[in-house]
């Protein structure tokens, strides 16, 4: 359940440090697990939006 919450928080924009604080992690790499996928999803959405705004 905490793992799912971590991914959802990251998807909403929480930083790895915020997730670490809630989960009680001490090492930044453990918080990065959640934010990496969310960051990749945001980058893909932003890139897609750039294409939508192009004038052909």
Taking the domains of the chain in order of start, what are their residue ranges? 2-52
2 Cα distance to chain centroid: 15
d(CA 52, CA 25): 39
> What is the predicted pLDDT for the residue at 52?
85
Q: Name every residue whose Cβ is closer than 8 Å to that of residue 38 and which is 6 or more positions away in sequence.
A: 7, 10, 11
> What is the predicted pLDDT for the residue at 53?
80
Both tokens of 50, joined, read 């750039």
d(CA 37, CA 19): 14
> What is the predicted pLDDT for the residue at 50?
86
Provide the residue-wise pLDDT of the chain in tens; the chain has 56 residues: 778 888 888 888 888 899 889 988 888 787 788 888 888 888 888 888 888 888 87
Q: What is the DSSP letter of 24?
A: T
> What is the predicted pLDDT for the residue at 37?
80
């Amino acid at each position: 359940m905490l793992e799912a919450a971590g991914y959802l928080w990251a998807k909403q924009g929480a930083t790895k440090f915020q997730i670490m604080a809630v989960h009680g992690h001490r090492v930044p790499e453990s918080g990065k697990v959640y934010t990496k996928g969310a960051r990749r999803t945001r980058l893909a959405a932003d890139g897609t939006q750039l294409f939508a705004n192009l004038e052909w």
